Amino acid sequence: MASKRRNEVGMSGNGGQFAPVGRSEADVPIATDQEIIDALPHSPGFERPILDDRDSAGIQDFGLEGFDADFSAWHDEGSGQAVAEVGLDVPDTDLMGLSDLDDADMTTEESERIHRGTVVLDQILRERYPDADISYDAERPHLSWEYRQDGMSTEEQMHDRAWNDEKGPVTFANEADAGTFGHEHLGRIFRERMEDTAMVNAPTLYGSAALIDGQRTAVDLDNDIAASAQFRDEAEVEMPTDLNVRRYAGHLAESSDQMKRLSEYGHCSAGAALDELDKVTPASARHGSDGERFESYQLCRWIERSNEELHEEWIR
């Protein structure tokens, strides 16, 4: 509290020449947490705790050579946690062996091919980096990891935690780089996965089999009827349409993981799917209803043909 002469504030008497003067709360500056920390003496190696909220958090380079990887850290006041996030773009066309394609001159067939490759690469990324979020808002798939720690922490500590995550951004960068010794290469994993894949022409990233029956066209209905009759007559049978493939697979989704994936996403592991079909369908034993045997027969031959076509398209 400041002081003034007694006669200046209207006080009289012999209480001395100075008197206290009150201040309103607005007159008193309150130091921020950061100002208090900055004013304290710091020992060597002192690391400042994270005090900024998310809106105030700065974005820094995470430090992965060859990758534009962003790092930011903030304090979540609601949960009382320190939070860090790392994000980077996936070099998808490089990993798929399609980096020579020019986006400006890309044909419809090339665009569809990239989409088919993206669906398989997406599956690999989700399996190998289960804690990462994948988004497709930009031209390339984007991976981001979030790390949380109760209480206060520093940017250095949160950076170290992200850096040392066994399934985090550093591992991804090493696996995306063909030259990193001692690590798997995502490009090789992608080619191996594609070599063992059966896929409809337009698979989906986000699974849904609920609307397949409602999407069937006259072409799909005619294909189903004609091929079924040919199968009963032991004549040459038409190949199923993509929508019929997904529909037939949906009938076996409860007893086969690969048929569930084929029904919902439009692709599956060819080898695993054929093994599962051999176990859960009556095709090889020549029993069961005509419809069951027909659908199993169509699925088996479609899987084999689709796998051959993808092998010609991707495996050189």
| Domain boundary residue, one of 195, 224, 254 | 195
Whether 42 is covered by a domain: the verdict is no
Whether 78 is covered by a domain: the verdict is yes
Per-residue model confidence (pLDDT) at position 84: 96
- Asked whether residue 184 falls in the same domain as residue 274, the answer is no
Helix axes 186-195, 169-176, angle to 10 degrees: 70
Per-residue model confidence (pLDDT) at position 47: 67
- Asked whether residue 71 falls in the same domain as residue 144, the answer is yes
- Asked whether residue 58 falls in the same domain as residue 188, the answer is yes
Domain count, the chain: 3
pTM for the full predicted model? 0.79
| Domain boundary residue, one of 128, 161, 195 | 195
CA dist 47 and 199 (Å) reads: 53
- Asked whether residue 87 falls in the same domain as residue 182, the answer is yes
Whether 257 is covered by a domain: the verdict is yes
- Asked whether residue 273 falls in the same domain as residue 169, the answer is no
Backbone Cα Rg of the chain: 32
- Asked whether residue 162 falls in the same domain as residue 295, the answer is no
- Asked whether residue 216 falls in the same domain as residue 191, the answer is no
Whether 36 is covered by a domain: the verdict is no
Whether 228 is covered by a domain: the verdict is yes
- Asked whether residue 158 falls in the same domain as residue 284, the answer is no
Whether 40 is covered by a domain: the verdict is no
Per-residue model confidence (pLDDT) at position 162: 97
- Asked whether residue 83 falls in the same domain as residue 121, the answer is yes
- Asked whether residue 232 falls in the same domain as residue 109, the answer is no
**What is the residue-level pLDDT of the chain in tens, covering all 316 positions?**
555 555 555 555 555 555 555 555 556 566 565 565 555 555 455 567 888 899 989 999 999 999 999 999 999 999 999 999 999 999 999 999 988 776 667 788 888 999 999 999 999 999 999 999 999 988 899 999 999 999 989 999 999 999 999 999 999 999 998 767 778 899 999 999 999 999 999 999 887 766 676 688 999 999 999 999 999 999 999 999 999 999 999 999 999 999 999 999 999 999 999 999 988 876 544 556 778 889 999 999 999 999 999 999 888 6
Per-residue model confidence (pLDDT) at position 33: 59
Please report, as a single letter, which amino acid is at residue 24: S
Beta strands in the chain (DSSP E): 2-5, 18-21, 60-61, 70-76, 81-89, 133-135, 142-150, 197-199, 267-269
CA dist 164 and 167 (Å) reads: 9
Whether 48 is covered by a domain: the verdict is no
- Asked whether residue 260 falls in the same domain as residue 129, the answer is no
| Domain boundary residue, one of 164, 195, 226 | 195
Per-residue model confidence (pLDDT) at position 49: 84
Per-residue model confidence (pLDDT) at position 80: 93
Structure tokens at 66: 């060859």
299 close to 249: Cβ distance less than 8 angstroms:
yes
Whether 203 is covered by a domain: the verdict is no
- Structural domain boundaries, residue 88: 54-195
Closest CA to 269 of 194, 192, 189, 197: 197
- Asked whether residue 174 falls in the same domain as residue 261, the answer is no
